Structure 1
Amino acid sequence: MGEDKMTLRENQTAAALRLSKVLAARNRWRTGWQSLRSVLMPIAMVTVVVAWGLDWDALGVVAALVLGGLSFPLVWTSTYHWFTEDLTEQQRQFILAALGLSLTVVALIAMTGAMDWIRARFQGTNWDAVGALAEGFGALGQILVALLAAYVAWRQYVISRDLTIQQNRITQQQTIDSYFQGIADLILDDEGLLEDWPPERAIAEGRTAAILAGLDAEGKAKIIRFLSGAKLLSPLKRDRRLGRAIFDGLGGYEEDIEYGVRVINLGSMLAGADLSGTDLRWTELSDANLTGTLFRNCNLTRANLAGAILQGADFTNADLSRVRLFYGTVEQASPRDRLNPPNFRTGAQTGAVVEDVNFTNVKNLSEEQRYYCCAWSGSRSRETIPGGCEGVPNKLGR
């Protein structure tokens, strides 16, 4: 048994060696033939052209046959591979059906005498008029082709623009995500507690100012919502010795509107910014300089704008539901000023500066908000406040 197995293994090895030699010889022959064909085909082409130009018919016919013999296998192999491998079964069936239908039409015309009827039908036709009509259709076709080309170019522009906008959105979101992570790493310690020393607060404010300058309205709104939700824009109560934020006993940090220190002070980062059409619900914008900022069609529900400088801002069609514009009572509340400190018990000097603000078509404006805006916005802004300002004194005096 052992000798039989050895003999069988030797025979298999010998057969494998013979097969490998045959395959190697076949590959060498194929490579050599491809190289020879690459040389012969250009020579045959040149010979056909020269023989055709010099009327050497015999040489031209021979060269053409050689060229056809060299070219046909390549074309046939590529076509067969394309037809059997690249096309789906449905596409192959469609091509065969189209060829069959074309052959059917030609055969019926040729074998039923329809061609004679067609010749007789058009025998007396004025072909000059037909030619003129064909030229007219040709001109119309050129116009349609030009219009089609213009439409294709326009669609390419639209698609390119949409792709660019989408790519910009992706890039902007990646930038915002990096900012979120960077701020968290900067102001939180290893245990996840707030640790914001003055240099860290300064760096955080610098990062915020830099990223807000390069974002669109929606990107700015995302940053503001993040900072507001994380209480980084709120004035936090501090330890008088170490300056660290104090817990409120409920898992968060205690706020102190009188003496608190914000992790990030927006200052004038949003002055003149366009925040139109964004979601700014529950955002903390108190004491921020928002001069000339556009809040058109914004949702500012429960936003805190107390002490903010809103001079020249535009709130057209904005939702001001339960927005805080001041502290204390509306009768005693007044806008902030540079000389007097705010009194959060009475509301004096705690309100937003609303001079020359556009309140056209604002929504959900409460009576207290309307009274405050009418009293402190000035004569031009009073004309834009929904509901009018009849019976409300102009405390601004101008």
Structure 2
Amino acid sequence: MTIDPNNSSQPSSSPTPEVIPDRDLPPEVLDGAGDREISQKGLATQQAMAALASLQLPERTSILSRSHNTVRPRTTTPLASFITLGAIALIFLGLALNNFLIGLLGTLLALLLSLAVLLPWLQTVGTFFSPQERSIFVAILGVIAALVGLSKFTAINRPFLAWGRQINWEAFGTLAEWFGALGQILIAVIAVYVAWRQYVISKDLTIQQNLLTVQQNLITQQQTIDSYFQGISDLVLDEEGMLEDWPQERAIAEGRTAAILSSVDASGKAKIIRFLSQSKLLTPLQRDARLGRAMLNGNGGYAEDRIKGVRVIELGVVLAAADLSGTDLRWTDLSEANLIRANLSRCDLVKANFSRTILYDAQLVGADLKATILFYGKAETATPRNHSAPPNYTTGEQTGAVIENADFTDVQRMSDSIRYYCCAWGGERTRATVPGGCEGIPNKLGR
């Protein structure tokens, strides 16, 4: 069966094309059928799609037309617009002639025609709101209208009107001025409060910044002290860890110590002093007479020699007038150091060695003096240091600390021997500060 391609006026009645199987075709036709097979299949597919479109087209067209008629608002006619303009003209004419009938007629015509035109638009706008919202809006309008009606057609508003007539509204005006002044005062108070809060916040920020700065300074100081410890250790020790300090090395070590003690705070000074004391670098060590090297004591340490020994580091006057208050100086060796006018208040001086130390005019208020060494030998025979005579560590002569004018107010755990020495060699000013008093103890200093 052949297909007429021009017959497209009635696609719905076109029969389905028959497909001739390949086995019914002669062999000479099958030889060239490869090129025509694709075109025949494409033609069949187009005819099938056209048939489906023709079947669905009327139904879809009717649906689109119905939806278009439903959504499209009603348009106004030119006649209605002309009549509305005429009604507006009648209104202005009635106003010009002061004629009630003409003005009322124009008003009614304009109102009715305008409502007739706006009604479809209002219906379209109403679809944007839910039924519940429309009901609430109408209810609000009803409440307003009811209140207006009650106030108009009943006497419920008369007491309020009478009460309003009795009010002195001039006084209310004065009161309003007072409220205005009060508002200005409140604004000024709020401004002051805001300024105060800004000051408090800035102050807190400043305090926090200062704390951070202090913490950073402490970290930097600790790093500096650690570097000092490492430098001193490398300077005075050999590769095997034995003490090997030559005169120039001792001089450099003393210079480093003097430099760092002048650049750290009280806690930093105490750390350095404890390190040097525990490392025996402040203790006078027995030396070889020819080589000058430190001698071993036979017990795994270095032998001490208080009379002729040589210290690795001589503190000298490095700690004069130094502030060491509130620090931990336990078991430290500060013998023969110059601590004139030093502040040792509230220090922990347990077993600290101050023999032959200059504590002239020093402050030891509230310090802990348990087992503190101020002299050697007995308190009755011990005397302060004197450059004109060598010390005698058996009797205690010339081994005591110089404590004239020192302040021992409220010192803790002072032994009787230390109290005797302080009263005997401290002078009148020192005797007045010794806990327990100095009654019965002679003033050997004489002043």
Shared fold (TM-score greater than 0.5)?
yes
Deviation at 1:129, TM superposition (A): 4.3
User: Which amino acid is 1:160 matched to?
Assistant: Q
Deviation at 1:133, TM superposition (A): 3.1
Q: Counterpart of 2:330?
A: 281
Tell whether 2:321 aligns with 1:272: yes
Deviation at 1:112, TM superposition (A): 7.8
Q: Counterpart of 1:227?
A: 276
In 1: Cα distance, 2:274 partner to 2:255 partner: 18
In 2: Cα distance, 1:112 partner to 1:297 partner: 82
In 2: Cα distance, 1:397 partner to 1:134 partner: 79
Q: Counterpart of 2:343?
A: 294
Tell which has more relative contact order, 1 or 2 (C-alpha 8 A, sep 6+): 1
Q: Counterpart of 1:54?
A: none
Q: Counterpart of 2:201?
A: 152
Tell whether 2:440 aligns with 1:391: yes
User: Which amino acid is 2:301 matched to?
Assistant: G
User: Which amino acid is 1:370 matched to?
Assistant: R
SS of residue paired to 1:271: coil
TM-superposition CA deviations, 1:238-281 (whole Å, max 9, x none): 11121111112222211111111100011111010010000000
Q: Counterpart of 1:186?
A: 235
Report the CA distance shift for 1:135/1:326 in structure 2 as closer, same or farther (over 3 A): same
In 2: Cα distance, 1:271 partner to 1:198 partner: 24
Alignment equivalent of 1:315, drawn from 360, 364, 377: 364
User: Which amino acid is 2:270 matched to?
Assistant: A
User: Which amino acid is 1:384 matched to?
Assistant: T
Q: Counterpart of 1:341?
A: 390
User: Which amino acid is 2:380 matched to?
Assistant: E
TM-superposition CA deviations, 1:35-58 (whole Å, max 9, x none): xxxxxxxxxxxxxxxxxxxxxxxx
Deviation at 1:128, TM superposition (A): 4.3
Deviation at 1:212, TM superposition (A): 0.4
- Structure 1 or 2, whichever has the larger Rg, is 2
Q: Counterpart of 2:285?
A: 236
Which structure 2 residues correspond to residues 1-398 of structure 1 after superposition, within 5 A? 127-398=176-447
TM-score, structure 1 length as denominator? 0.68
User: Which amino acid is 1:234 matched to?
Assistant: T
**Cα RMSD (Å) of the superposition?**
2.2
Report the CA distance shift for 1:142/1:112 in structure 2 as closer, same or farther (over 3 A): farther
SS of residue paired to 1:253: coil
In 2: Cα distance, 1:220 partner to 1:320 partner: 20
SS of residue paired to 1:323: coil
In 1: Cα distance, 2:443 partner to 2:331 partner: 30
In 2: Cα distance, 1:236 partner to 1:188 partner: 15
In 1: Cα distance, 2:290 partner to 2:379 partner: 36
In 2: Cα distance, 1:343 partner to 1:130 partner: 92
Tell me how many residue pairs correspond in the alignment: 284
TM-score, structure 2 length as denominator? 0.61
Deviation at 1:159, TM superposition (A): 1.0
Q: Which runs of 5+ in 1 are unaligned?
A: 1-107
Task: Give the percent of matched residue pairs that are identical in Structure 1 and Structure 2.
Answer: 57
In 1: Cα distance, 2:316 partner to 2:369 partner: 22
User: Which amino acid is 1:351 matched to?
Assistant: G
Q: Which runs of 5+ in 2 are unaligned?
A: 1-135, 148-159
In 2: Cα distance, 1:312 partner to 1:262 partner: 26
